[in-house]
Amino acid sequence: MIDLNIKEPAEVQKENRCGAYFMAEQWVTMKIAAKRLNIPASKISRWANRGLIQVKPNPFDKRSRLVELNELQEKLAELDSIQDLGNDGDDIVE
């Protein structure tokens, strides 16, 4: 039996021709992405359905789709920065 549960390091970096480093693509199922990023899988699915993130069909399971983990992390960071802008302290009433 082949074990398809591949463990990936937390950060995988590759070097391009110019010597600059970039994050390698990490396509994972929505369920795995949700566990790694501690967000509901339903939120990832909604973002995919709305076209906010890229998805690929899972070649091993037609019932699930793959998402790019680094893209999802960037979207979450973008969302956090927007929420931080809203929490500047001006609207606090004492």
- Listed in order, strand segments (DSSP E) in the chain are 13-15, 21-23, 27-29, 55-57, 65-68
Choice between 92 and 30, residue whose per-residue pLDDT is larger: 30
| 7 vs 91: CA distance, rounded Å | 45
**Averaged pLDDT, 36-63:** 94
Beta pairing partners, 66:
29, 56
Single out the residue of 84, 94, 47, 89 nearest to residue 68, CA to CA: 47
What percentage of the chain carries pLDDT values higher than 70? 64
The mean pLDDT value of the chain amounts to 78
Global pTM value: 0.63
